[in-house]
Amino acid sequence: MTAPPDSSTPEDKTAASGPRRGGAGEVFAAFAKLGFTSFGGPIAHLGYFREEFVVRRRWIDERGYADLVALCQFLPGPASSQVGFGLGLLRGGPLGALAAWVAFTLPSALALILFAFGAASFDGPIADGILQGLKLVAVAVVAQALWGMARSLCPDRERASIALAAVLVVVFLGGAFGQVSAIGLGGLAGLWVCRNAAVTAAQPAPFPVGRRVGIAALLGFFVLLFGLPVLAITVAAPELAVFDSFYRAGALVFGGGHVVLPLLQAEVVPPGWVGEDAFLAGYGAAQAVPGPLFTFAAYLGAVMTPYPGGLLAAGIALVAVFLPGFLLLIGALPFWNLLRARPSAQAALQGTNAAVVGILGAALYDPIWTSAVRSAPDFALALTGFLLLTLWKTPPWLVVILMAAGGVALTVF
């Protein structure tokens, strides 16, 4: 008696046997293409990933991908890069995860490093106009991010009140301490005012990371977060101080890539490592390149003064700002299903997300608005960029070009 024909689909077989593994080279090639073409920010990146790895390559199914996205949005760090890191881990193991990050990050990091070196030698009225236009791009982009985040993360009076309280905390305490305090107080407030919010149903995560590995990653995250400041003071090496500052900024980014702006500003501008104008010009230039916004850290390292600066500091800053998000992802994978089924965890997350809206709102005023908008024409150009992004849905790279040209026109004429 012959067995009935196998009617299962390839997707069914893959789901039954677990995700098929591939090599790091395959992962690198797939993500390198996206590293050169993924314009549009974190939300657009997630769309590119779904099309490439769920629909076309079938590395993961829809449910598994949605679960990975939910986890990365729950954690601090660059969500789209964390999703890419997780996909690389799933496909090619630890080397695949590293290959995914390098391939997706390197194109934009190199472009911003080249911009940093070029900006240092570029002088005259046209250069001043371009830099002013890029600073006004930062106004438009952060205003757009703030508008979108406020609508989605502060839809009621309770969370709007948390955002307002975060603004007050940042304004009166100032610096990185004020931002960390606002995030912590936002989480505590969320436990109280968001406790009756609906709980999102959990799906099992398809990533086979053992609990021992997860615990080791979490320990590494906290040891570095609390140990690096002590070590930086004890050793007094500039490279260690840079790593500490960028690691701390990357560890506290809730709510999207744009939130890293005030955190990095608090780390590099007050000590005099990077000037206010150079900081905002680089942030504006970061809108014109593909890939993750966190590669802005490479630009900051490249323009940093005094020593180390250059390629060494660019590399240190780039690794340091991404590392905490990846450690948290590895650490959370074994415990994610249990954690996000708890209403208290989701309530705290809602409060934290509302607080980061307030942090970004405070940053929109100072340093962004106060440093970039110096006249009525500056305001008009910034408003034009904001409307191009929000109403006309103009690609960010095109807005950067138009605003740079507008800055030149305002300066020269």
Whats the size of the chain, residue-wise?
413
Give the residue-averaged pLDDT of 19-47.
82
b vs e for 61-73, b when ≥16 Cβ sit within 10 Å of the residue's Cβ?
eeebbebbbbbbb
For residue 120, what pLDDT band results from cuts at 50, 70 and 90?
A: low
pLDDT digits (tens, 9 = 90+) for 398-410: 988 999 999 999 9
Residue 11 has pLDDT above 50, yes or no: no
One-letter amino acid identity for 123?
A: D
Predicted TM-score (pTM) of the model is: 0.78
Query: Is 220 or 288 the better-scoring residue by pLDDT?
Result: 220
Give the residue-averaged pLDDT of 217-223.
97
Residue 200 has pLDDT above 80, yes or no: no
Give the residue-averaged pLDDT of 300-310.
86
pLDDT at position 17 is 44
pLDDT digits (tens, 9 = 90+) for 161-170: 999 999 999 9
Average pLDDT, the chain: 86
pLDDT at position 248 is 94
For residue 84, what pLDDT band results from cuts at 50, 70 and 90?
A: very high
- Determine which of 56-60, 63-67, 200-204, 213-217 has the lowest per-residue pLDDT on average: 200-204
pLDDT at position 121 is 66
Q: How many Å apart are CA 27 and CA 335, to the nearest integer?
A: 26
Query: Is 396 or 154 the better-scoring residue by pLDDT?
Result: 154
pLDDT digits (tens, 9 = 90+) for 225-252: 999 999 999 998 999 999 999 999 999 8
Give the residue-averaged pLDDT of 100-117.
95
Domain boundaries, the chain: 22-99, 111-412
